[in-house]
Amino acid sequence: MKRPSHYSRSGSPRMVDISAKPETERSASAHAFVRLPPAVLRALPRNPKGNPLDIARTAGIMAAKKTAELIPLCHPLPLSHADVDVRLVATGVEIVAIASATARTGVEMEALTAAAVAALTVYDMTKALDKGIEIGELYLLEKTGGKSGGFRRKKK
Q: What is the pLDDT of residue 7?
A: 65
> What is the rounded distance in angstroms from the CA atom of residue 111 to the CA atom of residue 150?
15
Look up the CATH superfamily of 24-146: Molybdopterin cofactor biosynthesis C (MoaC) domain (3.30.70.640)
Is the pLDDT at 2 greater than 80? The verdict is no
> What is the rounded distance in angstroms from the CA atom of residue 133 to the CA atom of residue 24?
40
Is the pLDDT at 20 greater than 80? The verdict is no
Enumerate the active-site residues. 124
- The pTM score is 0.89
pLDDT tens profile 33-85: 999 999 999 898 888 888 899 999 999 999 999 999 999 889 999 999 999 99
Q: Please name the amino acid found at residue 48.
A: P
pLDDT tens profile 92-124: 999 999 999 999 888 999 999 999 999 999 999
Report the DSSP beta bridge partners of residue 28. Answer: 99, 143
